[in-house]
Amino acid sequence: MHHFEYRNGKLFAEEVNVSELAKQYGTPAYIYSAATFRRHFQAFDSAFSDLDHLTCFSVKANSNLSVLKMLAEQGAGMDVVSGGELFRALKAGVAADKIVYSGVGKRAAEIKQALEAGILMFNVESIAELHKINDVAEEMGKIAKISIRINPDVDPQTHPYISTGMKKNKFGLDIEHSLEAYKLAAKLSHIEPIGMDCHIGSQLTSISPFLEALEKLLKFYERLKEINISIQYLDLGGGLGISYEEEEPPHPSEFGKALAEKLAGVPLKVILEPGRVIAGNAGIMVTEVIYTKSNPTKNFLIVDAGMNDLIRPSLYGSYHRIGEVEKNERETKEYDIVGPICESGDFLARERDLPEVHDGELLAVFSAGAYGFTMASNYNSRPRACELIVDGETILVARKRESYEDLVANEL
């Protein structure tokens, strides 16, 4: 459920006409719906209301400060994977004790930054990292609270680039090494193990891999108790999928219900790290058709947004629904919708049927609120797009379009 809909053939973001937004702020532009963000967060969070839990939004899905602030106001904690994301979360007003820090490559300076802030816990991904955190904490005279990211070796049945919980992935520690890590953690002077963590992948469209992982973690929890390590938190990561095309992912309430059953009587506080399911369908990207071009085998729509603006189609072969901002009655044609970047992999969609489109017309790329702007780059020296938040009739420029001067601001 989202708040981008057609009214008399014209696309609206909440109460605002998208084509007027594009006229005023230019293209390409990311447009987010505040009501959708709030609604998705509340729907997700309340799905786990039978459990003692904390919902930590995954900052890498959409890290715009205004978005984070909006979610923090709804009670969200945050899951961060870098010092930069931690900086953003704190700046957006998120309480440090609602922040968890994941990622395989935390540097000493980032660990220090997190200890200074007083985050809830580090999700530790290697033995070497555990030692590093202990060293930094010792230097600072602090105790670092940690969980070990356990790789439960389950197949999330998603794209290989976004599956993270299998043996071949770089993330976390396998079960046996995890046990060793907890034993070590219990011995280290400036480490306190307080949780277990896993995150098995992204865009999951079934809850069974989550439950399979949960089962393995609960067995592991028993082994921890046997060696007198008592923890309070169970972090199950993110990964719940959304509908880009025809996927029918489970509603969070289905996941919540299943968790509540499996965790009845288990004295652990659950942490969830949703990203895509909150942000994905809360944003669109609007782009203008610059040229049309045909050859004997293809019709191309050359648009002003490229893989530097939205890389998911190029990187993962992802599907994004694309529609006209103003509907027309023309006959359908098959198009490759491509950007201006000098790469053959620069496309938003291939072999897509659309009513015939003319240059100067606008297209909306749907489901672009997660891993859209956050993955944008300046490749081909293209200034990054603006980010707008629509809230009812109100428009907030959450990030202004970059200028050419911005492109070279840090260069000699």
Ligand X SMILES: *Cc1c(COP(=O)(O)O)cnc(C)c1O
Residues annotated as catalytic are: 342
Phi and psi angles of residue 138, each rounded to the nearest 5 degrees, phi first: -60, -45
Rg (CA), the chain: 22
Q: State whether residue 272 is helix, strand or coil.
A: strand
Q: Cα 26–32–34 angle (5° rounding)?
A: 135
User: Least CB distance from residue 238 to ligand X, whole Å?
Assistant: 3
Assess whether the previous peptide bond of 249 is cis (omega < 30° from 0). no
Binding residue (CB under 6 A) for ligand X from 172, 193, 195, 239: 239
Options 22-30, 110-118, 273-281, 356-364: segment touching ligand X (CB under 6 A): 273-281
In the DSSP assignment, the letter for residue 161 is G
Show the DSSP H helices in 163-311 as ranges. Answer: 175-187, 208-226, 252-262, 276-279
User: Least CB distance from residue 237 to ligand X, whole Å?
Assistant: 4
Contact 127, 181 (CB under 8 A): yes
Binding mask 328-367 for ligand X (x = CB under 6 A): ----------------------------------------
Binding residue (CB under 6 A) for ligand X from 85, 273, 304, 309: 273
246 is in an annotated binding site: no
343 is in an annotated binding site: yes
5 is in an annotated binding site: no
Binding residue (CB under 6 A) for ligand X from 83, 274, 306, 313: 274
Contact 293, 300 (CB under 8 A): yes
d(CA 75, CA 56): 9
User: Least CB distance from residue 48 to ligand X, whole Å?
Assistant: 14
d(CA 368, CA 391): 17
Contact 260, 50 (CB under 8 A): yes
Rule CB under 6 A: say whether 195 interacts with ligand X: no
Binding residue (CB under 6 A) for ligand X from 28, 152, 275, 369: 275
Which parts of 114-153 interact with ligand X (CB under 6 A)? none
Binding mask 81-120 for ligand X (x = CB under 6 A): x--------------------x------------------
25 is in an annotated binding site: no
Question: Angle at which helices 175-187 and 208-226 pack, to 10 degrees?
Answer: 40
Rule CB under 6 A: say whether 53 interacts with ligand X: no
Strand-strand pairing, 16-17 and 10-13 = antiparallel
6 is in an annotated binding site: no
Options 23-31, 128-136, 275-283, 404-412: segment touching ligand X (CB under 6 A): 275-283
Binding residue (CB under 6 A) for ligand X from 209, 238, 249, 283: 238
238 vs 4, 40, 56, 152, CA distance in Å? 25, 14, 9, 15
- Identify which of residues 61 and 386 has a Cβ nearer to ligand X in the complex: 61
d(CA 56, CA 398): 21
393 is in an annotated binding site: no
Binding residue (CB under 6 A) for ligand X from 98, 276, 352, 399: 276
Binding site for ligand X (CB under 6 A): 58, 60-61, 79, 81, 102, 199, 202, 237-240, 273-277, 370
